[in-house]
Structure 1
Amino acid sequence: MTNQVLEAIERRAEEIASLGPSNEGLGRLDDQAAKVLRESGAIRMLQPKTHGGLELHPREFAETVMKVASLDGSTGWVAGIVGVHPWEMAFADPKVQEEVWGEDHDTWIASPYAPMGIARPVDGGYVFNGRWQFSSGTDHCDWIFLGGMLGDADGKMAKPPTSLHLILPRSDYEIVEDSWDVVGLRGTGSKDIIVRDAFVPSYRTLHYSKVVDGSAPREAGLTNPIYHVPFSCAFPLGITAAVIGIAEGALAHHLAYQKGRVQITGTKSKDDPYVLYAIGEAAAEIAASRAALLENVSRMYDAVAAGREVPFAERAVGRRIQVQAAWRAVRAVDEIVGRSGGNAMRMDNPIQRFWRDAHTGLAHAIHVPGAIFHYSALTDLDIEPPPGPVRSMI
């Protein structure tokens, strides 16, 4: 099947790449970069067809994010993160779907999902308060998913802890300007969000536990397998795909730079066996990362398409594959950047921007390897991992 969105991105590749410096300078996506994403359909790839979506295979989504990120890291990052939100919105009450997409199928939804707010129950819904960091692409979004904990009558966390995803319109939250001053992925505009006493009706909420265990899409009556891929595979997919795409972009700029480079010793890079070895090894590592991530999501998709539930042990291995793919790709970037010479660090050389973007993307919580590797190793030993917060990320 032809990936129509990927073809649209490839037709505008030069334009996307040229907007990278502007994105970084603005501290958010340039309006034109956002327009290109909208017109390509990149954010509608996982959106339900009932609201103008494409419902494409998640592998195609990942391949498209990789391509965009190879052209500009920030644009690819926004495509990966904002692009996965329609996937979860498909589980939500039809009433809120109509509110979000009824007038414009290209309405974007921001996040974050981190449960940094308290939702106090009241008649018909919740009164919500909190502050969140890292709302990528938020300047171009009109709605938002925010993670929150269920509160009691006093506004304190209820027992037992219950996590919710709450959906709010732009009028109900504040974007904190100047809250995104970072070393990499500057163009993502991943700013802070504040909510003060917003009323969120019950139909604009999802129970996180139902999203994680797969009951939310079943209860919504969704039949397309893309909506039954485990959350722990679908949610990290766009993020890790962006990191791998950034690595591919770094490699492409490194190759272009080394073609005509003459080192201070007078040796041409093309004649330096050590540089060539590093290029070959890095290219192989980045390609392996790409293949691993795409194979992983394809395997998960095939499992749910066959009507099989993906057990915890397989999900843990999938997370291990996803995390390691990101680390492998960024380590490869380090190897080639370390052989790019001092001129690669000049601000007008794209290599340094891709290098900074890659490391910032790797710092996302979804790429922290310790607990994921720990839990996956226990499953390899046929030991049931203990309960705890990490399980909810697997």
Structure 2
Amino acid sequence: MSEPRRSPERERLLAAVERVSPVAIAHAEASERQRTLAPAVVDALHSSGLFAMAAPRALGGAESDPLTQIEVFEAMARADTSAGWSLMISAGISALAGAYLPDEGVRRVFAGPFPTFAGLQVPSGVARRVAGGYVVEGRWAFGSGVRHARWVLTGAVLAPEGGPPPQGPPEMISVAVPREQVVIEDTWDVAGLRGSGSDHYRIEGVFVPEALTCPFPAAPRRRGGALYDIPLVALLAPCHAGFALGVARRALDEIAAAAPLRIKAWPRLPLGSHAAFHMDLGRAEAKLAAARAYTLDALGQMWDRARAGEPLAIEHWAAIRLVQTYTTDVAAEVVSFAYRAGGGSALYAASPLQRCFRDVHAATQHIGATDDAYEFAGRARLGTAELHPLLAPRPAAPGGV
């Protein structure tokens, strides 16, 4: 029997977001000033259990399905963008660590209170084989949440051990490193997502035991259900799409609330009385609703195939990649409309509209929302697309788990 389509913990998780939201909103400016998520918000996310929402149930997680994840990330980003981004990063990486690390490594990483995570899922470092594990060196960008993380899960290329050079892509691994063994660089002085603390970080000759590593990007599932049979890019797709939807929804909330109060300099009437604004607001609502429906449909089909044990075909991959980029693009359009409609008052640091504008445009720069998704979809439609290694299916779980 396949897993249920929706997580039984959906309502609990959404209720947890409601409890955390007032804390995140109250500390939003502090997160911006400190350029990392305010400690009070980190504590609230911890106590709510939201950091564990995507991790396997065997490790204390909720193992929430992709559709539930979209809704939870959307709701948290709607309340506060920095909290929403930080939640989706830590929760997404906890799913990777929890599902794919060996048992011995998991016992260490998940000992005690549920851990927080950071780490760029791009192999920017090098791992050299030694007795019992690897020595890892490298520098990675965009370590969102690294200042409040307990563990960093990141990628590295295996250094050649002699002999002829390997054919095809190099062998890669993920490594889990305690935050104390990671050097954080104070680089996150940016326009958008300032409160996410996405600093660069370095690992300088750290020994990582074999038990704290797994293959990258196609590690076999070691625990949990069908969710973790989904390949890496698809597994993380709900994170970025949910975040973008939440930011756009917050922007429309803000401009709808401001419209009756904002008097336009010419002709001295409230913005909310202008027919042109009504039309633009209606179009924005339709765009966002359509992008949301597309997101739920595309990732819902992905989840249905995973529950049925069916592989993802090229057309599914095209939709998974498209939905992340397209939804982010639509969110940016919607937020830009709301920001411009907000007029001069939207310029001020106290305005949520300027923060939504900056943060959604920061999200458009993320690797999960690149324009080549459109090219891939076009080639898939013409039958000329090929699967990238990051889209490769996972091998069967050890022992038929």
The TM-score with structure 1 as length reference comes to 0.91
**Aligned residue for 1:46?**
54
Q: Tell me by how many angstroms 1:325 deviates.
A: 1.1
**Is 2:356 aligned against 1:351?**
no
Residue of structure 2 aligned with 1:288, choices 287, 290, 294: 290
Q: Tell me by how many angstroms 1:153 deviates.
A: 4.6
CA displacement, residues 152-208 of structure 1 (integer Å, 9 cap, x when unaligned): 259xx97651222111112321112x2100001000001111111111122211211
List alignment gaps of at least 5 residues for structure 2: 1-7, 395-401
CA displacement, residues 91-110 of structure 1 (integer Å, 9 cap, x when unaligned): 21011111111222x21111
**Aligned residue for 1:8?**
16
Determine helix, strand or coil for the equivalent of 2:328: helix
Asked if the contact 1:232/1:315 (under 8 Å) is kept, the reply is no
Closer, same or farther: CA 26–142 of 1 in aligned 2, 3 Å: same
Q: Tell me by how many angstroms 1:390 deviates.
A: 7.3
Please tell me the residue identity of whatever aligns with 1:101.
Answer: F
**Is 2:183 aligned against 1:174?**
yes
**Aligned residue for 1:137?**
145
Determine helix, strand or coil for the equivalent of 1:128: strand
Asked if the contact 2:14/2:72 (under 8 Å) is kept, the reply is yes
Paired residues, what number? Answer: 381
Q: Tell me by how many angstroms 1:388 deviates.
A: 5.5
Asked if the contact 2:233/2:391 (under 8 Å) is kept, the reply is no
List alignment gaps of at least 5 residues for structure 1: none
Residue of structure 2 aligned with 1:326, choices 325, 328, 334: 328
Partners of 1:314 and 1:386 in 2: CA distance: 13
**More displaced stretch, 26-35 vs 251-260:** 251-260
**Is 2:71 aligned against 1:71?**
no
Partners of 1:109 and 1:391 in 2: CA distance: 23
Partners of 1:375 and 1:357 in 2: CA distance: 26
Closer, same or farther: CA 393–351 of 1 in aligned 2, 3 Å: farther
Alignment of 1:67-106 (within 5 A): 67-89=75-97, 90-104=99-113, 106=114
Partners of 1:31 and 1:209 in 2: CA distance: 32
Partners of 1:377 and 1:96 in 2: CA distance: 41
**Is 2:160 aligned against 1:152?**
yes
Asked if the contact 2:188/2:198 (under 8 Å) is kept, the reply is yes
Asked if the contact 1:243/1:362 (under 8 Å) is kept, the reply is no
Q: CA RMSD in A?
A: 2.0
Identity of aligned pairs, percent?
Answer: 26
Q: Tell me by how many angstroms 1:229 deviates.
A: 2.7
Partners of 1:298 and 1:247 in 2: CA distance: 21
Q: Tell me by how many angstroms 1:116 deviates.
A: 1.0
Closer, same or farther: CA 393–132 of 1 in aligned 2, 3 Å: farther
**Aligned residue for 1:245?**
246
Partners of 1:115 and 1:31 in 2: CA distance: 29
Determine helix, strand or coil for the equivalent of 1:210: coil
Please tell me the residue identity of whatever aligns with 2:51.
Answer: I
Determine helix, strand or coil for the equivalent of 1:117: strand
Closer, same or farther: CA 129–307 of 1 in aligned 2, 3 Å: same
**Is 2:209 aligned against 1:201?**
yes
Closer, same or farther: CA 393–70 of 1 in aligned 2, 3 Å: farther
**Is 2:129 aligned against 1:116?**
no
Partners of 2:103 and 2:387 in 1: CA distance: 33
Determine helix, strand or coil for the equivalent of 1:363: coil
Please tell me the residue identity of whatever aligns with 1:45.
Answer: M
Partners of 2:386 and 2:63 in 1: CA distance: 36
Q: Tell me by how many angstroms 1:334 deviates.
A: 1.1
Partners of 2:290 and 2:26 in 1: CA distance: 28
Closer, same or farther: CA 368–357 of 1 in aligned 2, 3 Å: same
Asked if the contact 1:185/1:357 (under 8 Å) is kept, the reply is yes
Please tell me the residue identity of whatever aligns with 2:172.
Answer: S
